Amino acid sequence: MALLAPDTIERPSTVRIHSDLYQGTEEWIAARCGMLTASEMGLILTPTLKAAKNEKERSHLYELLAQRITKFVEPRYVSDDMLRGRDDEVEALTLYAKHYAETETVGFITNDRWGFTLGYSPDALVGSDGLVECKSRRQKYQVETFLVHVIEGTIPSDYLLQIQTGLLVSERLWCDLVSYSGGLPLAVIRAYPDETIQAAILSAAGDFEQRIRDAMGRYRDIVTASGAIPTQRIEREIMA
């Protein structure tokens, strides 16, 4: 029997689609606890595809490390803009499904093919090959998107790493960026996997993951050697 060439050998899928999770719920937050995800890739990799070595990157390392230690994700403030954005993204996805393609909503996708796990929360899946990523935009950026990106078929830099990570994690063939700003036309730009960008993502993510693991070892050694007194988390009700 003839052997397949190395690049055509079928590998077992390591993609796990968590269709039972809903974004924003406690279960969804718990599934992401301590995990590097697509939406945060811009914290560890610069737009020029260099590994970030700055305060934001270090802060994110300590944040994920703390989550792995405590198994707890601290709540974040939700602004009015964030709430508006959530509503806008629902409308954007509704319009996309009506005018472009039927969609399937899933909460989370993970992939551990590389010896560590990356996560991605798509706004929707399309068939067996596609993804949808919806973004709520201020009107000046929506106008810029048409003048610069739609005509060139390019993804705005703010979303490039997230989308390429999403394609990498999901192992899908394309992702439609759906850019929405109420009162202006809907912009849809299709992105495909970029080997150069994805290689940089994996390199930075692998290094970041190793640093978290090394820091975990040092943390445990220091806590043990120092005889630090353990404490219990106190759950407090938030008063309206």
Q: What pLDDT was estimated at residue 238?
A: 53
Whole-structure pTM value: 0.89
Q: What is the mean pLDDT of residues 158-173?
A: 98
Backbone angles phi, psi at 74, to 5 degrees: -65, 140
Task: Indicate the domain borders of the chain.
Answer: 15-226
Taking alpha carbons only, the member of 192, 187, 198, 160 closest to residue 175 is 192
Could you say which architecture CATH assigns to the domain 15-226?
A: Alpha-Beta Complex (3.90)
Taking alpha carbons only, the member of 110, 115, 107 closest to residue 202 is 115
Q: How far apart are CA 136 and CA 81, in angstroms?
A: 10
Q: Per residue in 102-153, pLDDT tens?
A: 999 999 999 999 999 999 999 999 999 999 999 999 999 999 999 999 999 9
- Inform me whether the pLDDT recorded for 81 exceeds 80: no
For residue 237, what pLDDT band results from cuts at 50, 70 and 90? Answer: low
Residues contacting 112, CB < 8 A, separation 6+: 14, 118
Q: How high is the mean pLDDT of the chain? A: 91
For residue 240, what pLDDT band results from cuts at 50, 70 and 90? Answer: very low
Q: What is the mean pLDDT of residues 164-174?
A: 98
Q: Per residue in 8-19, pLDDT tens?
A: 455 678 999 998
Q: What pLDDT was estimated at residue 10?
A: 55
- Inform me whether the pLDDT recorded for 5 exceeds 50: no
Q: What pLDDT was estimated at residue 84?
A: 76
β-bridge mates for residue 110, sequence order: 16, 119
Q: What is the 3-state secondary structure (H, E, C) of the chain?
A: CCCCCHHHCCCCCCEEEECCCCCCCHHHHHHHCCCEEHHHHHHCECCCCCECCCHHHHHHHHHHHHHHHHCCCCCCCCCHHHHHHHHHHHHHHHHHHHHCCCCECCCEEEECCCCCCEEECCCEEECCCEEEEEEECCHHHHHHHHHHHHHHCCCCHHHHHHHHHHHHHHCCCEEEEEEECCCCCCEEEEECCCHHHHHHHHHHHHHHHHHHHHHHHHHHHHHHHHCCCCCCCCCCCCCC
